[in-house]
Amino acid sequence: MVSIILTWIGAILGIAVLLAMAFGAFVLDFDDARNNADHKKRRALSNTTTPTTPTP
C-alpha cells in the first residue's frame, strides 16, 4: 500500500518537473525573441537619427 502511494507521488513529482522544464524553455525562448525585437528597434532608431559619415 505504501509503495503504491509513493509510486504515485513520484509520478506526480516527475510530471511536475517535466512541466517546469518545458515552461522554463518556453519563457527563455519568448524572452530571447522579445529581446531581439527590442534590439532591432534600437538599431533602426539609432541608424536613422545618427549619420554614419560626419557632415562638414
pTM of full prediction above 0.85: no
State the Cα–Cα distance between residues 41 and 34, nearest whole angstrom: 11
> Each residue of 7-38: pLDDT tens digit?
999 999 999 999 999 998 888 888 888 888 77
